[in-house]
A and B are shown apart, each in its own frame.
Chain A
Amino acid sequence: MEPNTISRRAFLRMSSMGALAAGLGGNLFSLRLAGAAQPSGEEVGYTFCDACNHTPMCGIKFFHQDQVITGIESWPDFPGGRICAKAFGSLQRHYHPNRLKYPLKRTTPKGSSDPGFVRISWDEAYDLAAGHLRRIKKEHGPDAAFFYVGDPKEFRSAVERLASAYGTANYGNESSTACRYAALMAELLTYGFGTTGGLPDQQTKCLLVWGVNPPYSTPFATDKLLDAKRRGVKYIVVDPRKTPVASLADIHLRVRPATTAALAAGLMHVIFRDGLEDKEFCAQWIHGIEELKAYAREFPPERVARICEVPAAQIEEAARLFATTKPGRFFLSAQGTTHDGNAVNNHRSILVLNAICGNLEKQGAVNAETYPLKDMPIWAIGPAGHGLRKDLLARKDRRLDKEFVPAWHEVMATCQTNRMVEWIKEGKVKGFFAWGINLMIWPQTHEYQAAFDQLEFAMAVDYFYRPQTHPHVDLLLPAADNFERLAPFAIKGRKLFARTPLKPLGECREDWRIALDLGCRIADPATFFHGDVVASLDSILANENTSWKELLANLEKGYAVPRPGPELFDKQAAGKLRKDGQPGFATASGKVEALSLVLAKHNLPALPEFREPMATSPEYPLVLVSGTRRPFITHSKMRHDAPWLLELEPSAVMDIHPADAEARGIKDGDQVVLATRWGRITPRARLTILMRQGLVGIMHGWADNNVNELIPRQFDPLSGYPPYKETPCQVSKV
């Protein structure tokens, strides 16, 4: 060691390592001292990241001294992979001076320029919220109170329990607005179980990646995708953009947005025409196979090439590759294929394409869980028992979305929320009780903001004051963050993990507990475990005969729920997919439904039919994608909350292909006008071949450039989802 070769401060710190450095001299670097050099008094803690929506989350190991976090890193034994930029951002967010630390009550009328929030006690806050809950039930009936969980979503189950015990029929969340559930609806209608596929395993030979870029939305998957590519897995990527995963593709179909069902029909056309389908599986397990074949016949590659703007030869090639490279699997997003006016049928078309190739219930293909944990699904759905879902569903006939989206209403357990403007105006919703709500999720945001001002009472729980949302609420409660929350535990396959939260800053409380505390005030406190979060979690863990205490005893490596037997395939043949134990899939027909009985019953398109997207015009010749991902942001989260992340892109940036930009005289970094028939914003342009020509993309959630003001309130009749990735637009210089 030559002390004069390093900075003085680093040297002084090393000197403080004292005898160790001095005694070992030049051999220091050959030693493995990981963990040994923590300053004395530093302790280790474990938690999960809440920056994304992967409610089996990523694990964070953190170091703290006197309750102050000094650093974070990936939790070594936590399954999944390494944490990403967003998780590191959560460290800076934790100490952001603007974090809400005390309950706040509004003191001026709605619509005032200043809501006049003042600090109140938790008791006063709970009394206020519980008082309004009781009053609304008395004056308008329980359904006039709407319960909602936006983001994060790990504590949904506690809020669902609150809604259910209160007596409303109306509980909704971010997934039932625009996120996971349209795809889930497609999966339930088609397969009878939820799956977006995933990473290839050792048997998978071909991976169909459609409308998702895992290196950005799930960075922990990147190394596995790269390694699978190296082992020879073939990749077909369908995405308008030249994303990092598209760079791995053997075939990259740069499809025109919102034409999913046409492309899938074209691929199926080739597969049926050339007799490449899995004939046995089709005959035995697909309902409506003849209708499907007849439909696919209308989509020869030349026609599909015109609709989707991809070469016909590429469609032929992709169809052959997927149908002949078995087993194949898909890796889908919940959003890339569902943010348009044909959301559910677009998504269903991919599921059906996969099924005709027989890529279901086989090793390396797409499979249902053999031994799902007992009532412990991902937290985005939440345990039905703990959520008292049975009671909620008993009132389903009164749920507000029944007429808006009848098929959704039949299939889904959660209320679709996009008609909230009308429901408030019609006096059907009088009170809104929200955790992590962001009004910018909705298209034509200003209509929702105006509607919220008409509510008799609105409550929100959040980390920060959100200027697009919180001026429209009466009560604002400070949420504990991911370093301060205890609930819930993490579910990773069959492993369960506890965590070790720090004392919350200020008077922050965890969302789960807030829901329990409110429950204690409006219902029998015993139903809400007298506010005891651990008891609440234990009631879930009891399903698998374990407890929080047992999870804590296995903190670092997790508690493994014993596996009852080996993984099974062809479970439909063995009667292992249906609740009644009969052979078949858990759909109405007992088969994979190319022709959906539920959709037919509601007079909705029952095949995975194509619907021509909104037409571009000379005035609006480009297509707008709201929500093209940045790898360091999920929704609007973490952007202003963590300046380390904001700094990477400090203002709204719109991606545009260089040719489209040059045709408009736009240079990189120019401020531009991005307009649709419904609105305009002025982001900066980034010229990039990531975009295909004719397409522009921008992240949602910029308060000063809210792209969802450009999206119309025109919804998929099946799911009620908005057309975030379909709307024609124009770009011009400012």
Chain B
Amino acid sequence: MKQYGILVDVERCSGCMTCVVACKAENLTGPGVSWLKILQVEDRQRDRIYYVRHACMHCEQPPCLADCPQEAISRSAEGVVTVNEQKCIACGACREACPYGVPNFGEKSGYFAEPTPLERQAADYRKHDPTRSSKCTLCLPRLQQGKEPFCVASCPAKALYLVDYANPDERARRLMAQAKAVLAAAGSKPRVRYLADEGALALIEERFRRNPTMA
């Protein structure tokens, strides 16, 4: 069984926000809910700006899963962490537990007074109860069709790489050797990892720690 993860090449990301909007277009998440954010992280000393993905890390040992009182969170055989919106009671424990503050809770389901034809005709996996916990699914329905997650497939800079931790190809192996977990000390073993120098990584960690939900 494949074990999916994403490597984020911080050196290539230019903060164009295509992945953020592509995710909205694919998953039709509601207002105020973004399964994927891009942070602008600045290093004033070294005069550098980094654009950094913030989304579910699909941890091997997800603290959200452990802390959910409803057992609404599970990890699929291929390592994708998902939330069952129907079991979720919106208690927020998952968000509290997540070292990265990832799970989203919204208020409104649509951007407009009435659902658009696009929303009405959408497949079930693109329909959400905005008040329940939701987050990146690694585009599981796309993975099941042999396609990359939509953010990976859409990135104009080609800064995101889908990798299989169970059976990495040559390129993936090389990149995985360089990739680092953010907030590794939390012990959750994230499968979304970053290609970034130590200076950048320290700043990213500081930013994640200071305001994990990026509210």
For B, the interface residue count at a CB cutoff of 8 angstroms equals: 64
Residue in B49, B114, B121, B145 whose beta carbon sits within 8 Å of that of A689 in the complex: B49
- CB neighbours of B84 from chain A (8 A): 7-8
> A30-B2, A689-B47, A690-B49 are contacts. A9–B17 as well, Cβ < 8 Å?
no
Judge whether B48 is part of the interface by a CB distance below 8 angstroms: yes
Say whether A10 contacts B18, CB under 8 Å. Answer: no
**Closest residue to A1 on the B side, CB-wise?**
B77
Say whether A644 contacts B21, CB under 8 Å. Answer: yes
> A1-B77, A5-B76 are contacts. A33–B145 as well, Cβ < 8 Å?
yes
Say whether A26 contacts B123, CB under 8 Å. Answer: no
Name A198-251 residues within 8 Å CB distance of B: 215-216, 219-220, 222-223, 226, 242, 244-245, 247
Interface hub of B21, B24, B42, B153 (most chain A Cβ within 10 A): B21
Residue in B25, B147, B153, B154 whose beta carbon sits within 8 Å of that of A644 in the complex: B25
- CB neighbours of B147 from chain A (8 A): 33-34
Say whether A215 contacts B85, CB under 8 Å. Answer: no
Judge whether A12 is part of the interface by a CB distance below 8 angstroms: yes
Say whether B143 contacts A215, CB under 8 Å. Answer: no
- Give the distance in Å from the alpha carbon of A643 to the alpha carbon of B110 in the complex: 10
Say whether A82 contacts B26, CB under 8 Å. Answer: no
- CB neighbours of A82 from chain B (8 A): 18, 154-156
Say whether A84 contacts B40, CB under 8 Å. Answer: no
Interface hub of A33, A245, A645, A648 (most chain B Cβ within 10 A): A648
> A73-B153, A92-B111, A644-B21 are contacts. A12–B31 as well, Cβ < 8 Å?
no
- Give the distance in Å from the alpha carbon of A92 to the alpha carbon of B10 in the complex: 29
Judge whether A614 is part of the interface by a CB distance below 8 angstroms: no
Residue in B14, B77, B118 whose beta carbon sits within 8 Å of that of A219 in the complex: B14
Q: Categorize the interface residue count of chain A.
A: 35 or more
> A71-B26, A690-B49 are contacts. A658–B44 as well, Cβ < 8 Å?
yes
- Give the distance in Å from the alpha carbon of A662 to the alpha carbon of B119 in the complex: 45
- Give the distance in Å from the alpha carbon of A244 to the alpha carbon of B50 in the complex: 9
- CB neighbours of B34 from chain A (8 A): 647
Min Cβ gap B3→A in Å is 10
- Give the distance in Å from the alpha carbon of A4 to the alpha carbon of B156 in the complex: 35
- Give the distance in Å from the alpha carbon of A22 to the alpha carbon of B84 in the complex: 22
Interface hub of B17, B20, B48, B114 (most chain A Cβ within 10 A): B17
Residue in B83, B118, B146 whose beta carbon sits within 8 Å of that of A95 in the complex: B118
Judge whether B186 is part of the interface by a CB distance below 8 angstroms: no
- CB neighbours of A39 from chain B (8 A): 123
> A95-B117, A689-B49 are contacts. A73–B154 as well, Cβ < 8 Å?
yes
Min Cβ gap A667→B in Å is 15
- Fill in one digit per residue for A49-92: 1 if any B CB lies within 8 Å of its CB, else 0: 00000000000000001101111111000000111110011011
- Give the distance in Å from the alpha carbon of A438 to the alpha carbon of B145 in the complex: 44
Say whether A215 contacts B26, CB under 8 Å. Answer: no
**Closest residue to B158 on the A side, CB-wise?**
A223
- CB neighbours of A643 from chain B (8 A): 31, 111
Residue in B122, B140, B146 whose beta carbon sits within 8 Å of that of A34 in the complex: B146
Interface hub of A1, A33, A85, A95 (most chain B Cβ within 10 A): A85
> A10-B82, A689-B49 are contacts. A84–B121 as well, Cβ < 8 Å?
no
- CB neighbours of A645 from chain B (8 A): 21
Say whether B21 contacts A83, CB under 8 Å. Answer: no
Say whether A26 contacts B154, CB under 8 Å. Answer: no
> A74-B154, A247-B49, A648-B20 are contacts. A688–B143 as well, Cβ < 8 Å?
no
Say whether A226 contacts B16, CB under 8 Å. Answer: no
Judge whether B124 is part of the interface by a CB distance below 8 angstroms: yes
Judge whether B1 is part of the interface by a CB distance below 8 angstroms: yes
Say whether A6 contacts B121, CB under 8 Å. Answer: no
Min Cβ gap B9→A in Å is 9
- CB neighbours of B82 from chain A (8 A): 5-7, 10
- CB neighbours of A72 from chain B (8 A): 25
Residue in A29, A222, A648 whose beta carbon sits within 8 Å of that of B17 in the complex: A648
Say whether A92 contacts B31, CB under 8 Å. Answer: no
Judge whether A139 is part of the interface by a CB distance below 8 angstroms: no
- Give the distance in Å from the alpha carbon of A689 to the alpha carbon of B40 in the complex: 11
- CB neighbours of B40 from chain A (8 A): 688
- Give the distance in Å from the alpha carbon of A73 to the alpha carbon of B145 in the complex: 15
Say whether B156 contacts A29, CB under 8 Å. Answer: no
Say whether B156 contacts A223, CB under 8 Å. Answer: yes
Name A621-644 residues within 8 Å CB distance of B: 631-632, 643-644
Name B1-54 residues within 8 Å CB distance of A: 1-2, 12, 14-18, 20-22, 24-26, 31-32, 34, 40, 42, 44, 47-49, 51
Judge whether A110 is part of the interface by a CB distance below 8 angstroms: no
Min Cβ gap A376→B in Å is 27
Say whether A631 contacts B17, CB under 8 Å. Answer: yes
- CB neighbours of B123 from chain A (8 A): 13, 39, 70
Residue in A28, A242, A632 whose beta carbon sits within 8 Å of that of B144 in the complex: A28
- Fill in one digit per residue for B111-134: 1 if any A CB lies within 8 Å of its CB, else 0: 111101110111111010000000
Say whether A85 contacts B20, CB under 8 Å. Answer: yes
Min Cβ gap B188→A in Å is 17
- Give the distance in Å from the alpha carbon of A4 to the alpha carbon of B84 in the complex: 10
- Give the distance in Å from the alpha carbon of A635 to the alpha carbon of B16 in the complex: 16
Say whether A36 contacts B145, CB under 8 Å. Answer: yes
> A29-B78, A70-B118, A71-B25 are contacts. A85–B42 as well, Cβ < 8 Å?
no
Judge whether B91 is part of the interface by a CB distance below 8 angstroms: no
- CB neighbours of B153 from chain A (8 A): 73
- CB neighbours of B12 from chain A (8 A): 222-223, 226
Judge whether B189 is part of the interface by a CB distance below 8 angstroms: no
Interface hub of A4, A13, A71, A644 (most chain B Cβ within 10 A): A644
Name B50-88 residues within 8 Å CB distance of A: 51, 74-78, 80, 82-86
Judge whether B141 is part of the interface by a CB distance below 8 angstroms: yes
- Give the distance in Å from the alpha carbon of A85 to the alpha carbon of B146 in the complex: 24
Judge whether A564 is part of the interface by a CB distance below 8 angstroms: no
- CB neighbours of A579 from chain B (8 A): none
**Closest residue to B77 on the A side, CB-wise?**
A2
Judge whether B213 is part of the interface by a CB distance below 8 angstroms: no
Min Cβ gap A86→B in Å is 8
- Give the distance in Å from the alpha carbon of A32 to the alpha carbon of B74 in the complex: 25
- Give me the 3 closest cross-chain CB pairs, A-B, nearest first: A215-B14, A244-B14, A95-B116
B interface list, Cβ under 8 A from A: 1-2, 12, 14-18, 20-22, 24-26, 31-32, 34, 40, 42, 44, 47-49, 51, 74-78, 80, 82-86, 111-114, 116-118, 120-125, 127, 137, 140-141, 143-147, 150, 153-158
Cross-chain pairs A/B with CB under 8 angstroms, 28 sampled: A6-B74, A6-B80, A7-B82, A13-B141, A21-B144, A66-B121, A82-B154, A85-B20, A88-B24, A88-B25, A92-B25, A96-B116, A215-B15, A216-B14, A219-B16, A219-B157, A222-B14, A223-B156, A244-B14, A244-B51, A245-B14, A631-B17, A631-B18, A643-B111, A644-B21, A644-B25, A644-B111, A689-B47
Known: A6-B76, A219-B14, A631-B15. 14 other contacts (CB 8 A): A6-B82, A9-B86, A9-B125, A14-B144, A21-B144, A26-B1, A30-B2, A68-B121, A82-B18, A82-B154, A82-B156, A92-B118, A97-B112, A215-B157
A interface list, Cβ under 8 A from B: 1-2, 4-10, 12-14, 17, 21, 26, 28-34, 36-37, 39, 65-66, 68-74, 81-85, 88-89, 91-92, 94-97, 215-216, 219-220, 222-223, 226, 242, 244-245, 247, 631-632, 643-645, 647-648, 658, 688-690
